[in-house]
Chain A
Amino acid sequence: MNSILQPLKQGEQYAFEVDLSICTGCKGCVTACQNLNGLTPAESWRTVGVVESKSGDISQTITTSCHHCLDPACLKGCPVRAYQKDAVTGIVKHLDDQCIGCQYCILACPYDAPKWIPELGIVRKCDMCTDRLEVGEETACQQGCPNDAISIVTKSEAQIKMPSSAMKLPTQVSPEFTFPSTGYINGQVSTDSKSLNEERTAEKGHLPLVLMLVLSQFSVGLWGLSLFLEAQAFLSQVSLAILLAGLASSVFHLGKPLKSFKAFLGLSSSHLSREVLFFGTYAPLVIVTLLLGQFVALEVLPPFTLKLLMPLRMIALITGLLGVYSSAKLYQITSRPYWKGDKALLGFPLSGLILSSAFALTFSGPAEQRLLLPIILIGSLLWTVLEVQRNNNTKGLLLASSKLMSGSLKGYWILQQTFLWFCGILLPIYLLQVEFKSSLAIFTFYGLLGATFTERYLFFKAGLGYRMPIGEAG
């Protein structure tokens, strides 16, 4: 391929290797990446972090970029197949014109390699300066390093998988998660070293996703209830309205909404594609079933088609549920500890069920059944309190998440509790004492709705991702 690189043998790939003993953390690599790749003014695909050595007297600076993993999480998660692992070089490339700007790769990558470029509405990342390697030039970061601490080496799959070659850095995801190829040599740090100058701040809130998730789950819940309750027409119509609002808001999340039609391409590996597919099927099915009766009444369709109504409704429900499952799954399979376990997998369907039952009870059910509402509320309250308890007793990123909840995100946590307590319990009790009115249940419903939106916002804000050490102080 070129003079400075060893030719690749079968099963080998190119990889970064950093000699930590000569990295001084000057950040020349960070700026060289910006200059030599023609990136936007604040963009760089490299970062430099600091970790304290075991002995405590070396502040080990660590330059990092994409690790061109054997099993890249970005690639698997991408709904439009915008990531490719080059069959020959092993370089993980991002196809900028294919990207729809969903940013799921940013949530999926445990090393913070893909960078969101708001000016362009897409994600970009390191391609190991493939074009430079092809003509025998050094990568931008190599050109930027005064001490030649960065090299490009060849590594076999077996070498990358060898536990001894794994990065020994603090707060890291297990290397088996993606098998990163970067080698850090001659360092004096270990997995229990202290990551310096690294105060974790909240992640992005992704408001459109908050709306989309809560509303789609609410919609599926209502749809399910509508199959069994008397007020079927009303509930199913509301279900559709909410769903459309949710799906519409999800488009605002995308950097390139016009390309969103590509989002099903990653079906074979991306839960996001599956989510798109399921909700993309659920929505028309809901519409069709709602219109079917009308069409028959208008004699556009023959009466026997009504027989299809129930099966279609059931199919819609199943696709809706699968959509909710995919939503939950796509977060749960990332490496973010906060999203692990039942946080999304149970939390998403449950919130749909809670909101829809509260809605049904409030707006369509018999008045006396509304007494069930406080039970739902107390359940929700208990859930939130238990969760705080649970996170406080943890280590690492989960602990950092719960610290955020009691730190910079405390306001949102209090808001969530306020919704539940005030709107949900205190206000109705007070009003009950004044005069029992069926409309009072509305407050309970709004309390739950507000609390769910806040909870989902916190889901993103406190859902800290793993990443390479950072730290700005030199």
Chain B
Amino acid sequence: MNLITKIQNLFLQTNGPLTQTLAKKTGPNDLGLVPHQPTQTTSLVCGYCSVGCNLQVHQKADKAINLSPEKTHPVNMGKACPKGWQALAPVVADDRAKYPLVKNEKGQFQQTSWEKALDLFHSKLKGVTGDNGLAQAAFLSTGQITTEEMALLGSLAKFGLGIIQGDGNTRQCMATSAVAYKQSFGFDAPPFSYDDLRESDVLVFIGANPCINHPILWKHVVQNPHNPKIIVLDPRNTKTAQAATKRYPLKAKSDLLLLYGIAKVLVDQNLIDEDYIAKNTKGFSEFKSFLEEIDLAEVAKITGIKKEDILALPLTIAQGKRVSFWWTMGVNQGHQAVLTAQAIINLALMTGNMGRVGTGANSITGQCNAMGSRLFSNTTNLLGGHDFARPDHRKKIAQILKIEESKIPQKASLAYDQILDQIEAGEIKFLWVIATNPFHSWIDPEKLQRMREKLDFLVVQDLYSDTVTALAADLFLPAAGWGEKEGVMINSERRLSKVNPVSNIKVQAKTDFEIFLEIAKKFQLGWVTEAFSNPEQAFATLQKITENQPCDISGIAGYKEIESSGGIQWPKAKGNGEQKRLFEDGKYYHKDQKAAFLFGEPTAPPNQTSDNFPYVLLTGRGSSTQWHTGTRTDRSPILKKISPKEIYVEIPPAQAKELGIIEGDLVQVASPRGAITAMALLTNQVKLGEVFIPMHFAEVNQLLDPVFDVSSRQPSYKYTPVRITAQKSL
């Protein structure tokens, strides 16, 4: 710096070290102007939700320094939600678990070595394993790890360790859709492609709030060039409902009846596609006679939707040339969830809105790899969407994995709630929890506490040792996270995408894949290391497993093709191209190739409101900046800053006035099961008689009754009678 500049700077310094910290340069690979001068980039699919945005991680000498959404990727086209933008923060967080931990006699965690940790795992599991090789043990897994890891865990546990009971947190989000599709179509197969969001002329959203929960899906809707009619069925006036051309603010959990009402009008006014029904479906006449019993006046009364509005909806559907139906947790988390999902499928089938561009009965998935879990977790289905009960399926898997057929259980695992029941009953004594936080997220957190007392040994495998679940563990295994490992995830539109290591693991954590392999070695299970020697080879094994299944991915030329193509939608069988949209030929996966109309009597939720508990509490995602129980999003300083800090309850202003509550007041929310304190937030996003609390705060689940859908065993998070009392009047 010359003297003149120095003197100038004394007065007016227009440049210098502080200015330079923000200097941007054109980055590699079309990044445009970016900070920190990255030297290379790696693309990988986001590890939060099921939209499957691709993110381009900026690297400098192997170090991940930043990221931005991949500009040309067909899913997200250069965009991401706040969680995606901040996906690196939880990986590089200072409070990552740094080494294996074991509880000492005082109940405190103590650092231990991997060797000792795995020895302990081995001896404790052996201790609960009988002579028949079956362990009194279970695992609870996740929709957040890679497909290869899920398949490895499921195979290792069930065929190797004798842990035949296992389930995932996907039970809390996608079990309903999986069962509904399986029963209606013959296979758990979401039929759509995101293109359908852009091509429909009528979009019907049921219990879905993509504006906040899947912002990048909503982007496709915004870009729809057909000026589409957007119908939203939701008890809450969500941002998506507000963006609708017509919204149906039905009463909580009256959705099934409303959907039947719509079907009835379609039939009565002959707005159905008889040709499609005759050619491609079965059970319609039974459905038709079932609908005769539906009384529109009663539908109007129970749903709170005016009769003329109910009559208008089928007309809109019938007038649409390409109508698509989209649902998510509002449907999946109910006491008659599977029937509700199938009622939606029925609407698509009876109007012939299937298998064409811009149509479909489309379930938006929750977690980034819920679809991977549905196909490969080896819990409810045998690997690759096979059936534990079918000898031919067991034989096929046994041959591919080179194991004795007898090692394969002939029944599916128990569901999540049933596993917890068994623990409480003392039947299961060892529990292994992987990458999930049930002590916060499960509908009945108290049960988890009771369960903990009954358990001999709880192993928790996660990135952080400070989650409520990890804190309850006897043994904690530090796992690597998103961005530190390789594998495949499958998104809502059945797209297989890669995750890649972009950040070196700086702590003693191992990838879940490595942990599973080391456990396999400890138990001397040679076949495991053979079938799953590394992620890519494991993927090849899975490809072989899917041969001749609806989810056949045997035609994919390994990781390379997934990476170079921007993801591939299943199925892609050998010799075939990928299939963007299913059922274009009208052929379904049942033996008779027909889709089934399935239905059942709508019933009121088991717990009704009363004078004592007059309001219905709904729960769900509260913001686009928080994910699930916040174990990851809370570790991003900027996300934390722009997220709600404390638990709040949304109350309609008119109701608050009656209760003498003003904005910001602390109120007590009580259900028959418990009471919590929350801050009152007055908003017309909820309607009279209903209140809403976001699920990201642990307390809320204490209020909920463990009510489940009978066939999917998915918990109902959307209907709990509560009482609201101003704290000052307590």
* A residues apposed to B, CB below 8 Å: 22, 24-28, 30-32, 34-39, 41-44, 47-48, 52, 56-59, 61, 81, 95-99, 120, 122, 124, 129, 131-132, 135, 137, 143-148, 196-197, 199, 261-262, 265, 472-474
Task: Give the Cβ gap from B389 to chain A, nearest Cβ, in Å.
Answer: 44
Encoded as 1 (CB less than 8 Å from any A CB) or 0, chain B from 75 to 112 comes to 00011111001100100000000000000000000000
Task: Give the Cβ gap from B5 to chain A, nearest Cβ, in Å.
Answer: 12
Instruction: Establish whether residues B638 and A472, one from each chain, have CB atoms under 8 Å apart when the complex forms.
Output: no
- Asked if B216 is at the interface (CB within 8 A of a chain A CB), the reply is yes
Instruction: Establish whether residues B683 and A59, one from each chain, have CB atoms under 8 Å apart when the complex forms.
Output: yes
Contact of A42 among B13, B14, B239, B637 (CB under 8 A): B637
Encoded as 1 (CB less than 8 Å from any A CB) or 0, chain B from 188 to 218 comes to 0000000000000000000000011001101
Task: Give the Cβ gap from B328 to chain A, nearest Cβ, in Å.
Answer: 16
Instruction: Establish whether residues B222 and A95, one from each chain, have CB atoms under 8 Å apart when the complex forms.
Output: no
Docked pose: A122 CA to B212 CA in angstroms? 34
Task: Give the Cβ gap from B404 to chain A, nearest Cβ, in Å.
Answer: 51
Give the residues from 500 to 542 in chain B that come closer than 8 angstroms, CB to CB, to chain A. Answer: none
Instruction: Establish whether residues B82 and A38, one from each chain, have CB atoms under 8 Å apart when the complex forms.
Output: no
Closest to B221 in A: A147
Encoded as 1 (CB less than 8 Å from any A CB) or 0, chain B from 594 to 629 comes to 000000000000000000000000000011110000
Contact of A28 among B11, B32, B33, B85 (CB under 8 A): B85
Chain B neighbourhood of A122, CB < 8 A = 18
Closest to B217 in A: A146
- Asked if B15 is at the interface (CB within 8 A of a chain A CB), the reply is yes
- Asked if B497 is at the interface (CB within 8 A of a chain A CB), the reply is no
Instruction: Establish whether residues B642 and A57, one from each chain, have CB atoms under 8 Å apart when the complex forms.
Output: no
Nearest first, the 5 closest Cβ-Cβ pairs linking A and B are: A38-B35, A474-B623, A97-B16, A42-B637, A31-B85
Task: Contacts A36-B34, A120-B18, A137-B33 given; indicate if A143 touches B68 (C-beta within 8 A).
Answer: yes
Docked pose: A32 CA to B684 CA in angstroms? 30
Chain B neighbourhood of A25, CB < 8 A = 211-212, 239, 624
Instruction: Establish whether residues A472 and B79, one from each chain, have CB atoms under 8 Å apart when the complex forms.
Output: no
**What are 16 contact pairs spanning A and B, CB under 8 A?**
A24-B212, A24-B215, A27-B82, A27-B623, A28-B81, A36-B34, A37-B22, A44-B638, A95-B14, A95-B19, A97-B13, A97-B14, A135-B33, A143-B68, A146-B80, A262-B11
Main DSSP-derived SS at the A contact region: loop
Contact of B18 among A38, A43, A96 (CB under 8 A): A96
Docked pose: A472 CA to B222 CA in angstroms? 24
Docked pose: A30 CA to B640 CA in angstroms? 12
Closest to A143 in B: B78
Chain B neighbourhood of A144, CB < 8 A = 79-80, 85
- Asked if B66 is at the interface (CB within 8 A of a chain A CB), the reply is yes
Docked pose: A42 CA to B650 CA in angstroms? 27
Instruction: Establish whether residues A197 and B685, one from each chain, have CB atoms under 8 Å apart when the complex forms.
Output: no
Closest to B664 in A: A199
Closest to A50 in B: B683
Closest to A148 in B: B222
List 11 extra interface pairs beyond A36-B34, A135-B33, CB under 8 A: A22-B222, A24-B215, A24-B218, A24-B243, A44-B642, A59-B684, A97-B14, A129-B33, A144-B79, A474-B212, A474-B622
Q: How many residues of B contact A (CB 8 A)?
A: 66
Contact of B683 among A36, A146, A196 (CB under 8 A): A196
Docked pose: A196 CA to B681 CA in angstroms? 8
Encoded as 1 (CB less than 8 Å from any A CB) or 0, chain B from 230 to 254 comes to 0000000101001100000000000
Docked pose: A147 CA to B68 CA in angstroms? 16
Chain B neighbourhood of A48, CB < 8 A = 642
Closest to A96 in B: B18
Chain B neighbourhood of A124, CB < 8 A = 22
Chain B neighbourhood of A56, CB < 8 A = 653, 684
Instruction: Establish whether residues B239 and A59, one from each chain, have CB atoms under 8 Å apart when the complex forms.
Output: yes
Chain A neighbourhood of B78, CB < 8 A = 143
Chain B neighbourhood of A44, CB < 8 A = 638, 641-642
Task: Give the Cβ gap from B573 to chain A, nearest Cβ, in Å.
Answer: 34
Closest to A149 in B: B222
- Asked if B67 is at the interface (CB within 8 A of a chain A CB), the reply is yes
Docked pose: A22 CA to B242 CA in angstroms? 11
Contact of A35 among B66, B81, B243, B683 (CB under 8 A): B66
Closest to B24 in A: A131
Chain B neighbourhood of A37, CB < 8 A = 22, 24, 35
Contact of A30 among B21, B82, B222 (CB under 8 A): B82
- Asked if B648 is at the interface (CB within 8 A of a chain A CB), the reply is yes
Instruction: Establish whether residues A146 and B642, one from each chain, have CB atoms under 8 Å apart when the complex forms.
Output: no
Docked pose: A64 CA to B193 CA in angstroms? 34
Chain B neighbourhood of A47, CB < 8 A = 642
Task: Give the Cβ gap from B367 to chain A, nearest Cβ, in Å.
Answer: 19
Docked pose: A248 CA to B85 CA in angstroms? 43
Contact of B22 among A35, A38, A196 (CB under 8 A): A38
Instruction: Establish whether residues B685 and A38, one from each chain, have CB atoms under 8 Å apart when the complex forms.
Output: no
Instruction: Establish whether residues A97 and B17, one from each chain, have CB atoms under 8 Å apart when the complex forms.
Output: yes
Task: Contacts A52-B684, A472-B642 given; indicate if A97 touches B15 (C-beta within 8 A).
Answer: yes
Give the residues from 619 to 664 in chain B that come closer than 8 angstroms, CB to CB, to chain A. Answer: 622-625, 636-645, 648, 650, 653, 663-664
Instruction: Establish whether residues B21 and A31, one from each chain, have CB atoms under 8 Å apart when the complex forms.
Output: no
Task: Contacts A25-B239, A57-B684 given; indicate if A41 touches B14 (C-beta within 8 A).
Answer: no
Chain A neighbourhood of B242, CB < 8 A = 57-59
Instruction: Establish whether residues A42 and B24, one from each chain, have CB atoms under 8 Å apart when the complex forms.
Output: no
Instruction: Establish whether residues B625 and A474, one from each chain, have CB atoms under 8 Å apart when the complex forms.
Output: yes
Task: Give the Cβ gap from A55 to chain B, nearest Cβ, in Å.
Answer: 9
- Asked if B36 is at the interface (CB within 8 A of a chain A CB), the reply is yes
Contact of B13 among A95, A146, A148, A472 (CB under 8 A): A95
Instruction: Establish whether residues B82 and A28, one from each chain, have CB atoms under 8 Å apart when the complex forms.
Output: yes
Chain A neighbourhood of B4, CB < 8 A = none
Task: Contacts A59-B683, A196-B683 given; indicate if A24 touches B211 (C-beta within 8 A).
Answer: yes
Instruction: Establish whether residues B624 and A27, one from each chain, have CB atoms under 8 Å apart when the complex forms.
Output: yes
- Asked if B12 is at the interface (CB within 8 A of a chain A CB), the reply is yes
Chain B neighbourhood of A131, CB < 8 A = 24, 33
Docked pose: A262 CA to B9 CA in angstroms? 10
Task: Contacts A28-B82, A52-B684, A61-B239 given; indicate if A474 touches B19 (C-beta within 8 A).
Answer: no
Chain A neighbourhood of B730, CB < 8 A = none
Chain B neighbourhood of A59, CB < 8 A = 239, 242, 683-685
Task: Give the Cβ gap from A116 to chain B, nearest Cβ, in Å.
Answer: 13
- Asked if B219 is at the interface (CB within 8 A of a chain A CB), the reply is yes
Chain A neighbourhood of B15, CB < 8 A = 97
- Asked if B1 is at the interface (CB within 8 A of a chain A CB), the reply is no
Instruction: Establish whether residues A35 and B67, one from each chain, have CB atoms under 8 Å apart when the complex forms.
Output: yes
Docked pose: A87 CA to B13 CA in angstroms? 18
Instruction: Establish whether residues A132 and B32, one from each chain, have CB atoms under 8 Å apart when the complex forms.
Output: yes
Instruction: Establish whether residues B639 and A472, one from each chain, have CB atoms under 8 Å apart when the complex forms.
Output: no
Encoded as 1 (CB less than 8 Å from any A CB) or 0, chain B from 26 to 69 comes to 10000011111000000000000000000000000000001110
- Asked if B10 is at the interface (CB within 8 A of a chain A CB), the reply is yes
Docked pose: A30 CA to B22 CA in angstroms? 17
Chain A neighbourhood of B85, CB < 8 A = 28, 31-32, 34-35, 144
Chain A neighbourhood of B12, CB < 8 A = 81, 95, 98, 265
Contact of B68 among A26, A36, A132, A262 (CB under 8 A): A36
Docked pose: A135 CA to B80 CA in angstroms? 23
Instruction: Establish whether residues B19 and A97, one from each chain, have CB atoms under 8 Å apart when the complex forms.
Output: yes
Chain A neighbourhood of B36, CB < 8 A = 38
Instruction: Establish whether residues A98 and B32, one from each chain, have CB atoms under 8 Å apart when the complex forms.
Output: no
Chain A neighbourhood of B14, CB < 8 A = 95, 97-98
Chain B neighbourhood of A95, CB < 8 A = 12-14, 19
Instruction: Establish whether residues A472 and B216, one from each chain, have CB atoms under 8 Å apart when the complex forms.
Output: no
Instruction: Establish whether residues A473 and B68, one from each chain, have CB atoms under 8 Å apart when the complex forms.
Output: no
For B211, B645, B663, B664, the residue with the greatest tally of chain A CB atoms inside 10 Å of its CB is B211
Chain A neighbourhood of B79, CB < 8 A = 28, 143-146
Instruction: Establish whether residues B624 and A26, one from each chain, have CB atoms under 8 Å apart when the complex forms.
Output: yes
Instruction: Establish whether residues A146 and B684, one from each chain, have CB atoms under 8 Å apart when the complex forms.
Output: no
Chain B neighbourhood of A474, CB < 8 A = 212, 239, 622-625
Chain A neighbourhood of B211, CB < 8 A = 24-26
Docked pose: A25 CA to B653 CA in angstroms? 21
Chain A neighbourhood of B68, CB < 8 A = 32, 35-36, 143
